[in-house]
A and B are shown apart, each in its own frame.
Chain A
């Protein structure tokens, strides 16, 4: 009989002369871990997205390449699902199948909220520009 896993996910495997038995004990740690990592990554990538949007808005004035900015924005999903934090030593014991749902829920919620704020401001600003030029 062997026992592997982490405090959040314990995997027990026992074998007798008849059958191999496998137990998996799960605890609420997965929920907390998934939510916390999703929150953290959501805040980081959301802030990066805001900074890239700000740079993109000033791109024409400062002569920054749009292609370069686009490639930087497209690098955000790579960070979500395969960044160096994912394969690090600390998260090596984490079973992603168990917490992917909670991770994605909190990540999507936080990132959406952060990225919708500049969109709302941008829409109002465009409306003001259109309204000012109309007269």
Chain B
């Protein structure tokens, strides 16, 4: 039912979104640790957040796999897997670049603030 172009495009887009949001969610978790003092409640809160992140990712991946299995009778080919990996890597690299830009901006702001 679905053409290979559509399947590859869906997998590429999924790779891009996963590559952007998955590291972001993990960084968000780390920033949570930095803000508060270490305690059992903190571990519990972090565990809940981590569980929600993993659950959401597994659910979305499962829904994608189930949908493609039903809509694409021939299944996902190696080419599709390549597009998925390509999207993930590209998005992850762009994410690192954006994070570095933010980091530099934050540090320069601190330097400007302390210098004034």
Note whether A and B form a binding pair: yes
| Interface residues in chain A, defined as those with a beta carbon under 8 Å from any beta carbon in chain B | 66, 70, 73-74, 77, 81, 97, 100-101, 104-105, 108-109, 112, 115-116, 119-120, 122-135
Complex contact A133–B16 (CB within 8 A): no
In the complex, the number of residue pairs spanning A and B with C-beta atoms less than 8 Å apart equals: 107
Interface string of B1-13 (1 = CB under 8 A from A): 1110110011001
Complex contact B24–A123 (CB within 8 A): yes
Complex contact B52–A131 (CB within 8 A): no
Complex contact A126–B20 (CB within 8 A): no
Complex contact A101–B3 (CB within 8 A): yes
| Interface residues in chain B, defined as those with a beta carbon under 8 Å from any beta carbon in chain A | 1-3, 5-6, 9-10, 13, 16-17, 20-21, 24, 27-28, 31, 34, 48, 52, 56, 59, 63, 67, 71, 94-95, 98-111, 114
In the bound complex, CA of A97 to CA of B1 (Å): 7
* Most chain A CB neighbours (cut-off 10 Å) among B10, B99, B114: B99
Closest Cβ of chain B: how far from A99's Cβ, in Å?
A: 11
Majority secondary structure, B binding face = helix
Known: A124-B105, A126-B27, A135-B107. A119 touches B2 (CB 8 A): no
Majority secondary structure, A binding face = helix
